[in-house]
Structure 1
Amino acid sequence: MDDYSDYDGLGLAELVKTRQVTPSELVEAAIERIERHNPALNAVVYKGYDDARKWAAGDLPDGPFKGVPFLIKDLGAQVKGWPRSSGSMFAQVAADAEDSELVKRYRAAGVVMLGKSNTPEFGIPGVTNSERLGFCANPWNTDHISGGSSGGAASATAAGIVPLAHASDGLGSIRIPAACCGLVGMKITRDRTPICEVSDGALGFSVHHVVSRTVRDSAAMLDATGYAQIGDPFQAPAKDGPYLAEIEKSPGRLRIAWSAQTPSGRPIPEEMHAALVRTAELLKGLGHDVFEQDIGVDYRALYRAQGLASASNFSANVRRWVDALGREPGPDELGPLARRGYESGKRLNGQQAFWGFQELRILNRQIVAAYEGFDVFLQPVMATPAPRGDWLYPLMEDVKEFDKRQAATYGTTPPANFTGQPSLSLPLWQSESGLPIGMMFTAKFADEATLYRLAGQLEKEAPWKDRRPPVWG
C-alpha cells in the first residue's frame, strides 16, 4: 500500500469493509514504516509484530476502526502479555497480566495494536526523553521535540506510521505533542473514558484518548470508548449524541474569548501572537462573537497549590512501586525530575498536601465561573513552536534551569486538567521555519460537542490534511 499514509483511520477501515485491503496488509504497511522511520524518530519503543500479525489474521471485532494499525502509549495502559516501562528504569513490568478496560475498548473498536509508543519517565516533562527509552524526535524536524508526554504517539501519527494513537493528558500531554507535530489532540472531560491507573495516579487530572490527523478520527474513537466505567467516582455526564455527527453540524454563533496572557507574565513571541490574532480574525469571519478577555486566574497561586498536591501524590505513587518491588529505587533508577518529585513529596506533611488540594478546588471554581461569559476560550497551546531537543532537555543536572525553560515554553494547558474541562489542540498554522503551531480551544465542563462542531468547521476553513513533514509515509 504505497498510499497507506494518505488515509485516516476511518478511511483505512472503509477499505477493509469494502474488501479493498485486508487488516494483515495494513499491518505490514505500518510495520514497514516503523522499520523505515523509527531509527530517525524513536517513536515506537516496543514492537509487538507477532501479536499484531496474529490479531490481524484473526476474527477482529466489527468496530469503526476494524483492521486499523494502532499504538499504545507506554504509560499507564496495560496490554496483556506486553511489557510496561513508564519510561522508568525503576517502575517496570515484564508482562502485564490483563488488558486495561480502555485497551479492551480499543480492541472492541477493531484496531490492531502494533506496539507501544515512547514516553518520558512517568510522563513528567513536556519533552519525550528518558534514560530508559531515549529521545523521541519530531518528524517535521528531527532536531526538535515531539512534545510530551505523548510524544511517541504524536511522532508516529504525524509521520504516517499510524493514523491515530493512544495518548494521555495530565497537564497537557495530548495537546502539547499535537501542537508540536501538527495533529488533532482532544483532552477530554475528566473520566469520559476509563482511567488506566489503578490508584488514579494524577489526582483525576489525567485522561486518556488519542492523537490523530483528522477531527473525525478523534470523534469516532471517543464515541467507541467514551462511556462510564463501573467504579469511577466522578463519571462524566452523558453526551447528547455521537460526536462523529457533531462535526458535520454548524457550531452556530459562539462567544469566543481569547488571550495571549502567559503564566510567566512574559509576552509570547511575535510569531505566536500573530498566529493567535489570525485565529481570532478567522473565527470572526466565520460569524462568531470573538473578543479579547482572560480567565483571570492567578497562575502563580494555581501552580503553587498544584505543586504541593502533585508532589505528595507522585511520591505516594512511587511508594506503591516500592511496596510492589520490595525495595527503594537505586541511585540511578530515577531521573532527576522523578527523584526530585519523590523526595520533595516525602518531605511534605498531610496538612500541606491537603491545603494544596483545597486551594486548587477554590481556584478551579474561579476558572469555571469565568466560562459563564463565553462558550470557548482560545489560547496558543505553547508559547513557542516545538523547541530544539538540545535546548529543552529533561536530563539536565540543573533541573532548575530546565524548569525555567519549560516555563518559557508551556503553561497554558494545565488549568483544564485541574477543572476537568475538555480542551482541544488544532494544527491551524505553521511557523516561518516550517514547524506546526497549535491553537487551543477550551469549552465548558463535558461540552466536547461544541469543540467538535467548531473543529469540524475549522478543518474545512483552514485545512491541514495536505501538509506533510519531511519524515513521512
Structure 2
Amino acid sequence: MDLQDVVSAGVVEQRELLNQGVLTAQELIAATLDGIDHATDLGAFTTVLHEQALAEAKERDRERAEGPVGPLHGIPIAIKDEVDVAGVVTTFGTSANSTPAAADAEVVRRLRDAGAIIIGKTAMPEFGQWPFTESSTYGLTRNPWDRNRSTGGSSGGSAAAVAAGLVPVAMGGDGGGSIRIPSACCGLFGLKPQRGRVPVAPHEHLWWALGVIGPLTRTVLDSAIVYDVIRGNSSGDRFTAPEPVLSFEQAVRQPAAPLRIGYSTKSTTPLAKPDPVQVQAVHDTAKLLADLGHTVFEVEPTYPESTHAFFPQFFGGVRAEAAAVEHPERLESRTKQIIALGTWARRPVIEWGIRRGESLARKVDRVFAECDLLLTPTIACRPPEVGILDGASAIGALRSSIPMIAYTALWNVTGHPAASLPAGVGTDGLPLSVQLVGPYNGETAILSVAAQLEQARPHPRPRADREALG
C-alpha cells in the first residue's frame, strides 16, 4: 500500500481502507501531515495542527475498536480560516486576531461528531473579499496545476489543498462565488448550497444573506457525503431550508432522471465577456448532456441588475467582520479602503439589500419555469497569474474581480444552489469548468446530473499532484 496514493485519494477510498482495517487513522494522519509539510510552497495552509490531529487520530482508532463509527471517521479535513476551530485563532486571512476560538463552529462540531479529524486551517484573502487568495499576512496561494497561476478565491487555500491531493476535503465559504471560483480554477467539484442549508453558527451571518459554507472535493460523491453530515438547520438560524426528499448521497448514487437543461453563456454583467474556451466548455457539456438523455436547449435568461442588492451586504459583511478583530491597525490598507467606502452600508441599508435580493430571486426563477437546471460558465476568464492584488487599491481589486464573479455572484444574491464542476482541460494545461444552477431545493438534481457527467467525463487531476506530496 502506497501511503502517498492513499493520502491523495478521496473520502470514499480512505473510508473503505479504514473500515477494512488496512489502514489506521494514525497512519493516515501521519502521512497527511507529511504531505502538507512537503508542500508549503503552495501556501495552502495558515495553520497545521500536527499534535492535535495525531492525538485525535489515536482517539479515533480507539473508538473504532469499540464499535460503530461515523461516516467520516478518521478522515482528515481542512477548514477555511473564517470558520471557528476550538483552540485556533480564526484569522479571516488577517494578522488582526490573536485569541484562539473558544469553541468549534457548528459545522466543525458536526464534522467531528461524524469522526472527521481537523488537520488545519486554509488560506484566504482578508475577510474573503477577493476571488484571489493573496494577502499581506500569508502571501500567495498557488495553483497545483501551474504554480504561477491563481487558485481563485476566496477559498483558494482549501482548493489548493484538495487539488494537490493533500486532503480529500476542505471546507470553504461562498459569498460571491468563493467555493465555485477556486473549484473552477483548480479542477474540483464545489457546490454552493441553497441559502440556509448549512448553519453558520456561532456567527449571526456570513456576509448577511450572501454567504454559505460547504466543502471542496475532487468527486461529487465525496461532496454529497460531507453535505449529509453538515446540512440541517440549527436553533438561531436566520435562514433555513427544508429537508430534501433524498439524502445528497442517495441523489448521487441513483441514476439521473432525464431533465430539461437550459444553457447560456450570457454574462450577468456587460462588463465581462466570456473567454471562447469557457464558451466551448459549455457547448461541449451541453452536447454531452444531450447524449446522456437530457433535453438540452439554449436559453436567453433576463438577468436583473443585482449589484445594488450585493454591495450593501458585501460592504456590510466586511465592516462587521473588521469591527470584531482585536488589532484593526494591522488590517491591509485595501481593507481599510473598503471599510471607508462602505460607511453607508449600515443595518437598514443591508436589510433593504436582503429584501431586494429576495425580490430578484423571484425574477430569475422564471428561467426554471422552462428548465430544471441552468448550465453556464463558472468564470469568464482563465485562471489568472498570481500577484494580481500586488499594489492594487480597493477599486482596482474590485475591477479585477469582475471576470471572476460574473457568473457566480447573482446566485448568492438570490440564494439559489449552484455548483462548479470540471469540464476537462484547456490547451493552456489548466482545468475547464462549467456551472450548474438549480431552483430552490435543487441541490439533489444538481448532484445527480453532476455525478452522471463525472462518470461520462472523469474529473482530471494535475500532473503535479504527486510532486506536491514530495
The TM-score by the shorter chain falls in which range?
A: over 0.9
> 2: distance between equivalents of 1:79 and 1:264?
37
- Say if 2:88 and 2:101, in contact at 8 Å, map to a contact too: yes
1:161 aligns with 2:166: yes
Deviations 1:235-255 (A, max 9, x none): 211011221121122222211
1:403 aligns with 2:398: yes
Say which is worse superposed, 310-319 or 428-437, in terms of deviation: 310-319
Partner of 2:363: 366
Structure-2 change in CA distance of 1:53 and 1:221 (3 Å)? same
Partner of 1:267: 273
Residue 176 (structure 1) shift: 0.6
Partner of 1:33: 35
Structure-2 change in CA distance of 1:227 and 1:351 (3 Å)? closer
Deviations 1:128-169 (A, max 9, x none): 111122110000001111111110111011101101111111
Structure-2 change in CA distance of 1:361 and 1:180 (3 Å)? same
Partner of 1:464: 459
Residue 47 (structure 1) shift: 1.3
Q: How many residues align?
A: 459
Partner of 1:306: 310
> 2: distance between equivalents of 1:93 and 1:368?
44
Structure 1 gaps, min length 5: none
Partner of 2:251: 246
> 2: distance between equivalents of 1:287 and 1:72?
38
Structure-to-structure mapping, 1:3-402, within 5 angstroms: 3-38=5-40, 40-59=41-60, 60=63, 62-75=69-82, 77-90=83-96, 92-196=97-201, 198-265=203-270, 266-298=272-304, 301-321=305-325, 325=326, 329-330=328-329, 333-348=330-345, 352-390=349-387, 392-393=388-389, 395-402=390-397
> 1: distance between equivalents of 2:210 and 2:370?
24
Partner of 2:419: 424
Task: With the length of structure 2 as denominator, give the TM-score of the two structures.
Answer: 0.93
* Paired letter, 2:121: K
Residue 405 (structure 1) shift: 2.2
2:365 alignment partner, SS class: helix
Residue 193 (structure 1) shift: 1.5
> 2: distance between equivalents of 1:204 and 1:308?
11
Structure-2 change in CA distance of 1:3 and 1:313 (3 Å)? closer
Structure-2 change in CA distance of 1:165 and 1:365 (3 Å)? same
Structure-2 change in CA distance of 1:165 and 1:354 (3 Å)? closer
- Say if 1:10 and 1:65, in contact at 8 Å, map to a contact too: no
1:384 alignment partner, SS class: coil
Task: With the length of structure 1 as denominator, give the TM-score of the two structures.
Answer: 0.92
> 2: distance between equivalents of 1:99 and 1:162?
20
1:2 aligns with 2:4: yes
* Paired letter, 2:310: Q
> 1: distance between equivalents of 2:75 and 2:247?
21
> 1: distance between equivalents of 2:33 and 2:316?
41
Residue 109 (structure 1) shift: 1.7
> 2: distance between equivalents of 1:319 and 1:399?
18
> 2: distance between equivalents of 1:352 and 1:95?
32
Structure-2 change in CA distance of 1:340 and 1:360 (3 Å)? farther
- Say if 1:128 and 1:150, in contact at 8 Å, map to a contact too: yes
> 2: distance between equivalents of 1:14 and 1:399?
47
Percent sequence identity is 29
> 2: distance between equivalents of 1:55 and 1:422?
34
> 2: distance between equivalents of 1:162 and 1:102?
18
Structure-2 change in CA distance of 1:12 and 1:264 (3 Å)? same
> 1: distance between equivalents of 2:232 and 2:348?
35
> 2: distance between equivalents of 1:192 and 1:363?
20
Partner of 1:455: 450
- Say if 2:8 and 2:167, in contact at 8 Å, map to a contact too: no
> 2: distance between equivalents of 1:88 and 1:467?
29
1:247 alignment partner, SS class: helix
- Say if 2:313 and 2:345, in contact at 8 Å, map to a contact too: no
Residue 312 (structure 1) shift: 3.3
- Say if 2:8 and 2:166, in contact at 8 Å, map to a contact too: no
Structure 2 gaps, min length 5: none
- Say if 1:69 and 1:112, in contact at 8 Å, map to a contact too: yes
- Say if 1:260 and 1:267, in contact at 8 Å, map to a contact too: no
> 2: distance between equivalents of 1:373 and 1:113?
43
Residue 29 (structure 1) shift: 0.9
> 2: distance between equivalents of 1:106 and 1:15?
19
Structure-2 change in CA distance of 1:349 and 1:449 (3 Å)? closer
- Say if 1:72 and 1:117, in contact at 8 Å, map to a contact too: yes
Residue 380 (structure 1) shift: 0.9
* Backbone CA RMSD of aligned residues: 1.9
* Paired letter, 1:101: E
> 1: distance between equivalents of 2:147 and 2:181?
17
* Paired letter, 1:268: P
1:436 aligns with 2:431: yes
Say which is worse superposed, 213-222 or 405-414, in terms of deviation: 405-414
